[in-house]
């Protein structure tokens, strides 16, 4: 008769092991992606938040090659790149923008909102007033020659009030990543920075209509003091007819 020497597992030990397994499941559940909440009552569900994080990962990868091209174009034109360390939009800033878009248009979903985000990767390029118009043309033509598609060309230098600068959007040839370049002079960049907090408050859904009007008037006053570089209001995207100022 063979007598087994294998230890007998008691009921207490089984119960302890079973509890430990269940606790592991609880930890895993706690590690699942969470939603996001921001100021002004803005929020994203866990699923929406996860999609934004995935989008950000793609943008970070694409930024590497985009930055090489932007820096090359800027160097060839004699431009200064302002705030290069902030070329990637912060997660909170992007999530606030996405959440705001979802509130303002209930018919849009997270995928369509993310597809239209143009400034997760962004740059600011600056010249002194006298070099501005030729510099913008040089950078735009260089980016175009690299295969980047112009997707947005918002030239507000000709405005009688409000923001003054040139904001452009591009699509990178390999990654398909959208990115933004703002073209500034020192004066227009200063006005943008001075009005940033006013603009952020203005676009919150919780800001009243009356308050938004007051904030807009304050921004208008700051931009009204910005000189317009010669020919800046006529700057056009690559492939369109351009009218440059006559030599002095």
Distance between CA atoms of 106 and 208, rounded to whole angstroms? 20
- Enumerate the β-bridge partners of residue 95: none
Residue whose tokens read 């009356």: 210
Q: What is the mean pLDDT of residues 205-231?
A: 92
Render pLDDT for 130-155 as a digit per residue (tens, 0 to 9).
999 999 999 999 999 999 999 999 99
Does the pLDDT of residue 31 top 60, yes or no?
A: no
Q: How confident is the model at residue 33 (pLDDT cuts 50, 70, 90)?
A: low
Q: How confident is the model at residue 241 (pLDDT cuts 50, 70, 90)?
A: low
- The set of residues, in sequence order, having a beta carbon less than 8 Å from that of 134 and lying 6+ positions away, is 77, 244
Q: What is residue 195's three-state secondary structure?
A: helix
Q: Give me the pLDDT at residue 184, please.
A: 98
Distance between CA atoms of 89 and 120, rounded to whole angstroms? 5
Percentages of the chain per state (helix, strand, coil), in multiples of 5: 55, 15, 35
Q: Give me the pLDDT at residue 239, please.
A: 82
Q: What is the mean pLDDT of residues 218-234?
A: 94
Does the pLDDT of residue 60 top 90, yes or no?
A: yes
Q: What is the mean pLDDT of residues 210-218?
A: 91
Residue whose tokens read 């002004």: 40
Distance between CA atoms of 198 and 170, rounded to whole angstroms? 27
Q: Give me the pLDDT at residue 39, please.
A: 85
Does the pLDDT of residue 246 top 60, yes or no?
A: no
Does the pLDDT of residue 110 top 70, yes or no?
A: yes
């Amino acid at each position: 008769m063979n007598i087994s020497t294998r230890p007998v597992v008691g009921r207490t030990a089984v119960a302890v092991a079973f509890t430990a397994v269940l606790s592991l499941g609880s930890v895993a559940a706690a590690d699942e992606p969470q939603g996001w909440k921001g100021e002004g009552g803005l929020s994203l569900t866990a699923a929406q938040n996860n999609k934004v994080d995935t989008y950000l990962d793609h943008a970070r990868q694409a930024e590497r090659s985009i930055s090489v091209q932007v820096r090359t174009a800027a160097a060839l034109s004699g431009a200064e790149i302002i705030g290069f360390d902030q070329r990637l939009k912060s997660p909170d800033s992007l999530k606030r923008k996405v959440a705001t878009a979802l509130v303002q248009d209930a018919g849009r979903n997270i995928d369509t909102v993310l597809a239209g985000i143009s400034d997760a990767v962004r740059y600011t390029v600056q010249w002194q007033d006298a070099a501005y118009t030729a510099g913008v043309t040089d950078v735009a033509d260089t980016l175009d020659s690299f295969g980047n598609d112009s997707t947005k060309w918002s030239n507000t230098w000709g405005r009688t009030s409000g923001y003054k600068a040139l904001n452009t959007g591009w699509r990178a040839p390999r990654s398909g990543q959208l990115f933004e370049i703002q073209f500034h002079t020192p004066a227009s960049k200063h006005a943008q920075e001075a009005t940033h907090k006013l603009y952020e408050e203005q676009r919150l859904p919780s800001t009243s209509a009356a308050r938004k009007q007051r904030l807009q008037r304050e921004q208008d006053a700051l931009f009204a003091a910005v000189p317009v570089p010669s020919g800046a209001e006529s700057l056009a995207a690559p492939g369109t007819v351009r009218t440059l100022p006559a030599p002095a």
